[in-house]
Amino acid sequence: MITDPILAKIGEAAALNHHQGQREAARDLLTELWDEIGGEEGDPLHVCVLAHTMADAQDDPHQELTWDLKALAAADRIEEDRAQEAGVALPVAGLYPSLHLNLADCYRRLDDLDRARDHLRQARESIGELGDDDYGRLIRDSLDRLTIQLSQHWSSP
């Protein structure tokens, strides 16, 4: 269970975006939180989760990519005990499949297929960190769909 108040607020923003369709309100809340945490210099756990959530709230794939890259860079700085202390159920390594999946999809939409394939490969290499639960199945299913989408590009003239 999430015990960190910043992560709880980020969860509220994610709910605004995903469940209530209020993308602009989600972006506004996340922008306020970004300033509150000190931007990219803040707690890497906060930066990673906020940037990952902010990416999902973007309408422009270039902006989404910018946020996804910030999330990935911050993930590399998260310490395991910090994530556990905040109530994050996954090990830090369990963040990478979703981070790479989002980057792969972003690069696919931007027609940078080499980078899309590279991040798809990295997502597949890290997928073993996820359990056989709803979240793990969601990420695996999304990887399968993205693989099919990219294979259609591979076979195109």
Alpha helices in 38-133 (DSSP H): 44-56, 61-75, 80-85, 96-109, 113-126
- Identify the domain boundary among 51, 72, 89: 89
Residue 138 and residue 105 share a domain: yes
Query: What domain range includes position 157?
Result: 91-157
Same domain, 113 and 154: yes
Same domain for 3 and 42, yes or no, is: yes
Query: Does 95 share its domain with 85?
Result: no
Same domain, 66 and 9: yes
Total length of the chain: 157
Question: Is pLDDT above 70 for 83?
Answer: yes
Q: Are 115 and 141 in the same domain?
A: yes
Choosing from 55, 73, 89, the residue where a domain stops is 89
Average pLDDT, the chain: 93
At 18, is the pLDDT very low, low, confident or very high (cuts 50, 70, 90)? confident
pTM for the whole structure: 0.91
Residue-wise pLDDT tens digits, 104-152: 999 999 999 999 999 999 999 999 999 999 999 999 999 999 999 988 8
